Amino acid sequence: MKAAFSVSAVALAGALTACGGGGGGGASGGGMPMLPLAPVAAPSVAPAPAPAAPARDCSVTLYGDSILNGSTFSSVRVAEPPAAAIQRLRPAYRVVDRSVAGDNAQQRLPAMLNEGIDTNIVLLEQGLNDAGNSLPYEAPLRAMVQRVKALGKKPIVTGISQARVAVANRDAYDAIARRVAAEEGATFADWGAVPVVAADMADDVHPAQAQSTRLVEQMVKALDRVAPECAN
């Protein structure tokens, strides 16, 4: 078997020599000239897709008293309550109105801690009833703000609106609202900065339509700071 393998190898070598496989590289050697290789194009790379714009979540839940509810001592609501005015001024918003006439922070806290909230922003407007009746305000307000943050929502705290008559503790409670907002990282809507026009009040403490709209405009400024993408 080994001899046969050697003979075959010699025969194969002879055959290659006869065909010119063992000669030089010149034309007279009979070898086939090498053709140049065609250039290989680099693979095309598709451009990376542009990042998708973040989805807007233009939604707000309102917790507050009769001022935010748009009602008066006689339980008559203004023609365009604040919830409706927000939607007119900022049509992108879905507004969930949980305001209750006569509400205060201590009274609202237990229910608020257990309610589901599915909006991006939560606006808290209590303080006037709390101040006028010397009710606990800072602790329940802070607890509500912390609840909003724990849910991954964005809190807004309003200051306390001005009245046509002096309201006991109004300035002190307004300062509490401002401080709690600053300490908890909430946005502050400065209702106290909206001047009272006596002719635009429904009674001593409740706004008629024009005054109510001014307060809503101040709230909308706060909404725009929290979600500028929802301003249009």
Q: How many Å is the Cα radius of gyration of the chain?
A: 39
Strands 187-189 and 94-97: unpaired
pLDDT in tens, 115-131: 999 999 999 999 999 99
Residue pair 186/159 in contact by the 8 Å Cβ criterion: no
pLDDT given for residue 60 in this prediction: 98
Q: Is the dihedral of CA 196, 198, 202, 208 positive or negative?
A: negative
Dihedral of CA atoms 113, 102, 139, 181 in degrees, nearest 10, equals 90
Give a three-class secondary structure readout of 150-204: HCCCEEEEECCCCCCCCCCCHHHHHHHHHHHHHHHCCEEECHHHCCCCHHHECCC
CATH class of 59-230: alpha beta
What is the residue whose two structure tokens read 């909006």?
Answer: 119
For the segment 170-182, the average pLDDT, to the nearest whole number, is: 98
Max intra-chain CA distance, the chain: 125
Provide the residue ranges of all domains of the chain, joining segments of one domain with +: 59-230
CA of 221: how far to CAs of 214, 217, 230, in Å? 11, 6, 11
pLDDT in tens, 159-172: 999 999 999 999 99
Give a three-class secondary structure readout of 74-131: CCCECCCCHHHHHHHHCCCCEEEECCCCCCCHHHHHHHHHHCCCCCCEEEEECCHHHH
For residue 162 the two structure tokens come to: 């001005």
Residue 42: what are its φ and ψ, rounded to 5°?
-70, 140
pLDDT in tens, 24-83: 444 444 555 555 555 656 666 667 766 665 679 999 999 999 999 999 998 899 999 999
pLDDT in tens, 192-225: 999 999 999 999 999 999 999 999 999 999 999 9
Q: Which residues pair with residue 96 across a beta bridge?
A: 61
